[in-house]
Structure 1
Amino acid sequence: MESQVLMDASSSSRGARENKDEDYWRYQPLLKAALRGDWDSAKGFFDQDPDALTAHITDAKQTALHLAISSGRSIEFVEKLVDLMPPEALALRASQGRTALHIAALYGNTKAAVILVEKHPTSLYIRSYDQNQLPLHFAANGGHKDTLLYLLSVTEDDPVSKPFAYPSGALLLYQAVDSEFYGSSARTNPPAEHYIALDLVGRHPELGTSKLVDDKHALKTMARKASAFPSSIRLNRWQRLIYSYVPVENYADQDHNRSDIENPVNSSQVIAQKHSWARILGTNFPNSVSRKLQAMLWKVLELLVPHIKHVQKQKLMHFQAIQLVKSLCEKIGSSNDSEVYELICYVILTATRYGIHEVVEEVVESFPQAIWYVDNDGYNIFGLAVIYRCENVFNLIYQMSGHKQDMMFVVDKNWNTMLHLAGRLAPFDKLNLVPGAALQMQRELQWFKEVENLVTPGYKEYQNEGNEFPSMVFTKEHKKLVEEGEKWMKDTANSCTIAAALIATIAFAAVITVPGGTNGTNGVPVFSKANAFIVFIVSDAISLFTSTMSLLMFLSILTSRYAEGDFLYVLPKRLIIGLVTLFMSITTMILAFSSTLYLVFGNNKEWILIPVAALACLPITSFMFLQFPLLVDLISSTYGPGIFGKKSDRFFF
């Protein structure tokens, strides 16, 4: 921090330094004391030179107070220095017209901001020279939520400075959204009475329709904030379970001038709770009692499982983001701005590229005609969803009425149809969401087949400007991916073939040389009547048969022709069977070996089974951790519900 402040302190131009009328270098001891929070040294300097309290001690016109606040080393230093300074001295400006409160907001020094505001409240309304910004703007732009919440709580809607009027309010709203301050938690300390972006739009509706000189707008920013919406998160099974149940604060109790926020759970189908807490806790409980029981239950769970708080924070942010988009769309829809078309067109097309179906749905809810908007290349939202492989947006077509047929009639300036677009290779970032080149190729085939089922039959043989059919485009674009998928499949099969062959060899040899040997007179195994021997024989037989089956599956993969269509079902199915049978052969081989250990060395002592079973679990568990995720991905991608289909009952258009 100290080095950063020193860089800021020397950031002015050389020309300004040459023309200075003060020797800033004589203040070096004071500068170092301010940066280090050394009050004793600073106090000695002030005793010798009282003018140093308000003097500019750097060529960036910073005072000792500016430097002490920006360093953040000692709040006691700031407090004692403010006590010595007259109130009007707190309005002294550094370069770019920044006061001490601007610096406190910029660096997120909330304690210093409290001290400054208490002594000089009018500092809240002093604007800097750069973009005419208040301390509020510096806190919002710097991403310091606690500082911003404090400044919001003490900043009044002054009729002279007009902090929340256009353009100041529009800039604050944009900065809050850009810093992802959609709302604040009621758990903040001190309790927050302001909810930043949601509250700004609720209290000042005109800000929802205002855009800045450089064409920035809060809704445009939301169209790029994929991380703020549920569709962007990747949760495991337990996290999804927690997410579906965990409650969020009810904003209906706050004064936002929003009649539509009655229940955060029901306000969006995306983050809707899947089960009724009233049924879980008992239908005879009054609503107030049920809510209290819920709150108590989640407080206990948060103490036991701290990760729950993280999931709840995510869900709360998602709820706030959806409500903010809804509110902005309503405000824009109620205005008579002639530039609404351009704004909404940008928002819906941008949200589609980022795969934010929540924004697309809310925009279409307020502006149904937006569904027909196209970009400069002639692509509508579903064409863009296919190009950028945004299945969340593409699945909205299943929530449409008969208009979905019209939405599939896309022909761009190069005469590419929707099926040609599906034939293109997916963007690199989307392709890497699927592990392994073979599964990536399978996902690409699934996209192509899904679009093929939705377009009219004539589009399947439609030629583009280059006289290419959709299938030709697919083959050309995916040639390298097919080669990578073939290599991935063969490498996997080769590795597993060696393991399967070894297991088959061991299992076959174990049957010939049974534990304990055979009776010399009739050739019957010595332990033939022991229960452990029966376990050994059955396990060894299963291990031999399954390893042989696995070996055949992997050999069939190695000798496959590797056509494009084989990656859809044929090759993944063979790999699934091979991995499952290999896992079974390993498990039964370990079981057969454990039975042999017990027969030969156990001496009918049952406690021997405990260490044997514990050791037997090690290779099985290792295989589960190393190969089971791949097996799950294969089964889910090949036989799972898929990524396409109707995901919500909400009517789209």
Structure 2
Amino acid sequence: MRNTSFVEKLVDRMDFQDLEICMADGNTDFCLTAITGNVKIAEILLGKSPRLLWIRGQKDMLPIQLASSAGHIPMTEFLFQKTQEDLHNSIPFEDMVKLFFLTIDNNIYPVTSKLLDRYPKLVTIENEEGLTPLQMLAQFSLCKETTGHQEIASLLFNAMDNEKECLSYVQLSTAMFDAAKSGNIMILEFLLKDHPDLLFEVDCKEQRSLLHIAMLYRQESVYRLILNKGDSKKVMIQLIDFEGNNILHLAGMPARPEERFGLSTDHVLMHSEERWFQAVEKMVPPVMKRMKNKKGLTPKELFSVTQRVAQRSSI
């Protein structure tokens, strides 16, 4: 409170043109305030010069984009409200798109929902990395879920239903595989409800299905989701990837580094890998246990190689 009072007195003595000067780093004082997330000081500065809302800072970003980039939810909400109250200016659509993706990336979902409600076509736009909003959400692991994730996912799917130019089948498929890798069951359930045929989709590069991904990334929740699909699982079990691996081969491969059950010691990890392999082994038909991949290895042989390598690395 004392610092706020000091700033208020200091700003009161300043000329508004002084506040609009950009410093060496390209930021005004207001931009720096947006980055630090101090809403009280932002209110004081805007009271002196409302134009500060539209003066760009570093990387040619508006203050609201800087606040969003820094992950400040209250500041981003405050600045969004102020931009909407300004009757003489508005955020250019190109900047609106950038802000939209920043809010998704930093889990500022209250602003994400307002932007999506106002501009439904945002659901079909790709970011600089070529990702749609759905693909971005699909990559978020539910173990890191924040409040509002489900609501935003629901809004995205509703917007996709209402938009004439919606996502392509390839984009939907990519989102599904990303969700499987991250264990994002919520996105998977939304996708498979609206597009049940995606269940049998195979990645064109590695010829891997949803079940293959669940095996390779040790996503037990995805694995169980597929098992609950009735007779569909019988079809998926038969699929072979580009290296001739069936699902038991993939269960015998090393877990991807980012998906290691949250375990810390090599001993515990190896034990968990063995239990995972045994669980999958029980559900596949005998012929798949004897099947050799393109390297001439059966699933059991591949698993033995994996375990020996793990044992050597733990010494």
Normalised-by-shorter TM-score class: 0.7 to 0.9
Give distance in 2, aligned partners of 1:443 and 1:158: 58
| RMSD of aligned residue pairs (Cα, Å) | 3.0
**Displacement of 1:140:** 0.6
Give distance in 2, aligned partners of 1:420 and 1:145: 45
| Alpha-carbon displacement from aligned partner over 1:59-91 (angstroms, at most 9, x marks no partner) | xxxxxxxxxxxxxx9434432332233334433
Code of the aligned partner of 2:296: N
Code of the aligned partner of 1:156: Q
| Count of residue correspondences | 314
Give distance in 1, aligned partners of 2:312 and 2:46: 66
**2:124 touches 2:167 (CA, 8 Å); kept in 1?**
no
**2:10 is the counterpart of 1:81:** yes
Indicate how the Cα distance of structure 1 residues 94 and 333 shifts in structure 2: closer, same or farther if over 3 A, else same.
farther
Indicate how the Cα distance of structure 1 residues 103 and 449 shifts in structure 2: closer, same or farther if over 3 A, else same.
same
Indicate how the Cα distance of structure 1 residues 416 and 116 shifts in structure 2: closer, same or farther if over 3 A, else same.
same
Indicate how the Cα distance of structure 1 residues 444 and 346 shifts in structure 2: closer, same or farther if over 3 A, else same.
same
**Displacement of 1:389:** 0.5
Aligned match of 1:495: none
**2:44 is the counterpart of 1:115:** yes
**Displacement of 1:482:** 6.2
Aligned match of 2:238: 409
- Range that drifts further, 166-175 or 137-146: 166-175
Q: Secondary structure at the match of 1:156?
A: helix
Indicate how the Cα distance of structure 1 residues 358 and 122 shifts in structure 2: closer, same or farther if over 3 A, else same.
same
For normalisation by structure 2, the TM-score amounts to 0.86
Aligned match of 1:143: 71
| Alpha-carbon displacement from aligned partner over 1:174-215 (angstroms, at most 9, x marks no partner) | 111222222xxxxxxxxxxxx222333233322222223442
Alignment equivalent of 2:101, drawn from 171, 174, 190: 174
What percentage of aligned pairs have identical amino acids?
25
Give distance in 2, aligned partners of 1:479 and 1:160: 69
Aligned match of 2:301: 472
**1:462 touches 1:469 (CA, 8 Å); kept in 2?**
yes
Code of the aligned partner of 1:396: L
| Alpha-carbon displacement from aligned partner over 1:362-395 (angstroms, at most 9, x marks no partner) | 2222333333333321112210110011101111
Which of the pair has more CA radius of gyration? 1
**Divergent runs of 4+, >6 A:** 482-485
Give distance in 2, aligned partners of 1:82 and 1:448: 66
Indicate how the Cα distance of structure 1 residues 157 and 450 shifts in structure 2: closer, same or farther if over 3 A, else same.
farther
**Displacement of 1:432:** 6.0
Give distance in 2, aligned partners of 1:444 and 1:168: 47
**2:7 touches 2:41 (CA, 8 Å); kept in 1?**
yes
Indicate how the Cα distance of structure 1 residues 424 and 212 shifts in structure 2: closer, same or farther if over 3 A, else same.
closer
**Displacement of 1:437:** 5.3
**2:120 touches 2:163 (CA, 8 Å); kept in 1?**
no
Alignment of 1:403-552 (within 5 A): 403-428=232-257, 430-431=259-260, 433-434=262-263, 439-481=268-310
**2:180 touches 2:219 (CA, 8 Å); kept in 1?**
yes
Indicate how the Cα distance of structure 1 residues 435 and 176 shifts in structure 2: closer, same or farther if over 3 A, else same.
closer
Aligned match of 1:223: 138
Code of the aligned partner of 2:36: Y
Indicate how the Cα distance of structure 1 residues 340 and 97 shifts in structure 2: closer, same or farther if over 3 A, else same.
farther
Give distance in 2, aligned partners of 1:157 and 1:208: 25
Alignment equivalent of 2:177, drawn from 341, 349, 353: 349
Name stretches of at least 5 consecutive residues in structure 2 with no aligned partner: none
Indicate how the Cα distance of structure 1 residues 367 and 166 shifts in structure 2: closer, same or farther if over 3 A, else same.
farther
Give distance in 1, aligned partners of 2:185 and 2:78: 34
**1:169 touches 1:207 (CA, 8 Å); kept in 2?**
no
**Displacement of 1:443:** 2.6
Give distance in 2, aligned partners of 1:92 and 1:382: 57
**1:332 touches 1:340 (CA, 8 Å); kept in 2?**
no
